[in-house]
Structure formats: C-alpha cells, structure tokens
C-alpha cells in the first residue's frame, strides 16, 4: 500500500514537472535570426545613408562656396553672368540653358511618346506590339554618350544644312532634340502602363455608345489615365534636366544667357562635367561651385520627382 501511494505521488510530481501551469507561446528568441535581420536592415539603411550623404556633401561645400566674400546668394540667383574666373557667379545662364534644352526635349518627346503609347495600348495587335516594344526598349537602353555622338555628328550637320550658318556647331537645338529622343521611351512606357491600366469596361461602354476607336482613345481612355501620363511626363522632364552627356558634347561649353536655340550655351550638368573633368584642386572656387550648381540641380529634380508622385496619388482615378 505504502509503495503504491509513493509511486502515485512520484507520478504526480513527474506530471507537475512536464505540464507547466502556463505555456509560453512567444517566438523563441534565436540569435542567428536576429543577426541576419540586423544585417538586412543595415542593407536597407545604405539607401538612407546615400541620401543623407548627398544632401550633406552638397550643403557642406555649397556653404563654403557662399561663405566666400566673392559671391552672395542674391548675386547667385539674379546675376546674369557666370564667369567664375572673374568672380561673376550668376547661375541664371546655366539654368536658362537647361530650361531651353528641356523644353525643346519635351516638345519632341511628349507628342512622340504619347503617340507611341496610345498606338501600342489601343491600336496595335499582339504581333505589332511584339515588334514595336523592343524598339522602344532598345532606344531606352542606348548609352547617353552614344546619343551625344549622334547629336554632334549627325543632327547638328543636318540642322546646319537646313538653317545655314546661323546654327553654331555647338547649339541647344540639336542637344534638345536628341535629349527629346532620349526621354521619349520614358514617356512611352510610363504612359502605356497608365493606359493599359484603364479597365476595358470603359472602352466597351464607349464603343457601345457608338464612339469610334479614336474617339474612345482620346475622350475616354486618355482622360482616365491622365494622372499616370502626367506623372510620366514629369519624370521624363526631370531626366532631361539631369541629362549630362548629350549637352556636354553637343550644347557647347560657354555659359550664355539666350533663348535662341541656334546658339551655344552651357547647362548646369554641362558645367559640372566640364569643370570636374578639368581636375580642379580641392577647395578652389571652381571646385566649390560644382557643389553649389549640383545642389540646385538636385533640388530641381527632387521637386519634379515629388511632384510626379503627388500627382499620381492625388489625381488617380480608381476603378473597380
């Protein structure tokens, strides 16, 4: 009897050990997993580090630039002469050239890119798309320096053939036209994505009311995709503003405040490329001015990118 009672007590004691009062259902901490997760977060942080570094570097050297007695903020933004060797630091000529070239580029790229996008999404058969899509991708994949070569050795001679000698060898028109070709694929692909995302029911309804294909495309599909198209155009514009190689090769190396596209004028990117290619010594005014111009360029493109994102968010038509 006593043995039995003892055995039972032992059994109970054993049970009490194996079945705890509360069960901890939380994930067991694993050191290996935590380390891996930390490493992955660090990878993600590299992108934040990049942004911080860009902003820091641009601001630091720009502050040094503006701290120089030879240059003032007012002069920088309102001066009409950019001649660092004689202490003339008015950034307007550079900004103006960038603007002229980007505008010419947009005049080429918006109709062309939109035309391609509408044709591909509304008209083209599966087979035609199979042929035309790679063409656009090829255009997008060609390095910009090749477009620069094209502008200088092909487009400029043609322009000089048409308009005569009023076109200088380095001119904004040729650079603008070729930058336009360069950003056309961006507008075409982004707009085509937006157009393809418009639900088919809208097209069917329009056809049902007796509209022709063109009327449907231009009055129903394009307005429905307008936010995407607009965003694509702005992204392309930002790309045109930041484009370097074409303008460095074809637009010339002389800061020039003019609206005449036949003249040569240096853009912001062209200036940065020319000065840094000449190997300026650290701390010189030339060196610092690169950063000031770069900061302005960074803000312009950032503003354009943010604007494109806002437009997509605010004006997107949501269909279900």
Q: Segment 161-180, which members bind another protein (CB under 8 A)? A: none
- Using rule CB under 8 A, residue 143 touches another protein: yes
- Using rule CB under 8 A, residue 209 touches another protein: no
Question: What's the min distance (Å) between Cβ of 199 and another protein?
Answer: 22
Question: What's the min distance (Å) between Cβ of 93 and another protein?
Answer: 18
Q: Which of 20, 69, 85, 141 binds another protein (CB under 8 A)?
A: 141
Question: What's the min distance (Å) between Cβ of 196 and another protein?
Answer: 15
CA distance 95 to 253: 14
For the chain, the distance separating the N- and C-terminal CA atoms, rounded to the nearest angstrom, is 78
- Using rule CB under 8 A, residue 229 touches another protein: no
- Using rule CB under 8 A, residue 112 touches another protein: yes
| Closer by beta carbon to another protein, 93 or else 270 | 270
Q: Which of 78, 83, 276, 284 binds another protein (CB under 8 A)?
A: 276
> What's CA 266's distance to the chain center, in Å?
21
Asked if residue 227 lies in contact with residue 123, where contact means CB atoms within 8 angstroms, the answer is: no
| Closer by beta carbon to another protein, 81 or else 138 | 138
Question: What's the min distance (Å) between Cβ of 299 and another protein?
Answer: 11
| Closer by beta carbon to another protein, 20 or else 210 | 210
Q: Which of 14, 78, 154, 315 binds another protein (CB under 8 A)?
A: 154
Question: What's the min distance (Å) between Cβ of 92 and another protein?
Answer: 20
**Positions 41 through 100 that interact with another protein (CB under 8 A):** 41-48, 50-51, 53-54, 57-58, 61
**Positions 280 through 319 that interact with another protein (CB under 8 A):** 282, 290-291, 294, 297-298, 301-302, 304-306, 309
Asked if residue 191 lies in contact with residue 138, where contact means CB atoms within 8 angstroms, the answer is: no
- Using rule CB under 8 A, residue 153 touches another protein: yes
Closest to 92 (Cα-Cα) out of 217, 268, 220? 268
**Positions 117 through 136 that interact with another protein (CB under 8 A):** 118-120, 123-124, 132, 135-136
Residue labelled with tokens 């570094």: 53
Question: What's the min distance (Å) between Cβ of 70 and another protein?
Answer: 21
Instruction: Kindly indicate which of the ranges 13-21, 116-124, 193-201, 221-229 contains the residues binding another protein, using the contact rule CB under 8 A.
Output: 116-124
Asked if residue 175 lies in contact with residue 246, where contact means CB atoms within 8 angstroms, the answer is: yes
**Positions 18 through 47 that interact with another protein (CB under 8 A):** 30, 32-34, 36-37, 39-47
The residues, any chain, with a CB within 8 Å of residue 108's CB and separated by 6 or more, are 176, 177, 180, 181, 184
- Per-residue binding letters, 184-203, with another protein (x by CB under 8 A): x---x---------------
Closest to 116 (Cα-Cα) out of 178, 202, 203, 187? 187
Size of the site for another protein (CB under 8 A): 86
Question: What's the min distance (Å) between Cβ of 241 and another protein?
Answer: 7
């Amino acid at each position: 009897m006593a043995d039995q009672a003892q055995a039972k007590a032992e059994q109970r004691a054993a049970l009490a050990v194996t079945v705890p009062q509360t069960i901890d259902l939380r994930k067991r901490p694993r050191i290996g997993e935590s380390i891996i997760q930390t490493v992955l977060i660090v990878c993600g942080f590299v992108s934040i580090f990049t942004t911080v570094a860009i902003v820091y570097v641009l601001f630091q050297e720009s502050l040094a630039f503006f701290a120089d007695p030879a240059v003032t903020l007012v002069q920088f933004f309102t001066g009409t002469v950019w001649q660092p060797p004689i202490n003339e630091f008015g950034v307007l000529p550079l900004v103006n050239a960038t603007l002229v070239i980007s505008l010419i580029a947009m005049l080429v790229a918006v109709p062309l890119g939109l035309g391609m996008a509408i044709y591909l999404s509304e008209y083209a058969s599966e087979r035609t798309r199979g042929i035309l899509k790679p063409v656009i991708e090829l255009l997008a994949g060609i390095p910009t320096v090749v477009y620069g070569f094209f502008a200088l050795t092909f487009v400029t001679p043609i322009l000089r053939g048409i308009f005569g000698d009023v076109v200088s060898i380095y001119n904004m028109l040729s650079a603008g036209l070729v930058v336009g070709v360069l950003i056309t694929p961006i507008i075409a692909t982004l707009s085509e994505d937006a157009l393809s995302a418009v639900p088919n029911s809208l097209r069917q309804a329009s056809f049902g009311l007796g509209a022709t294909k063109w009327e449907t495309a231009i009055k129903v599909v394009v307005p429905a995709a307008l936010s995407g198209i607009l965003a694509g155009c702005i992204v392309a514009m930002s790309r045109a503003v930041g484009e370097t190689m074409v303008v460095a090769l074809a637009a010339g190396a002389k800061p020039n405040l003019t609206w005449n596209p036949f003249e040569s004028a240096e853009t912001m990117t062209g200036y940065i490329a020319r000065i840094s290619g000449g190997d300026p010594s650290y701390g010189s005014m030339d060196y610092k001015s690169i950063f000031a111009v770069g900061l302005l360029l960074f803000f312009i493109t950032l503003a354009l990118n943010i604007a494109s994102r806002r437009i997509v968010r605010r004006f997107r038509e949501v269909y279900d």
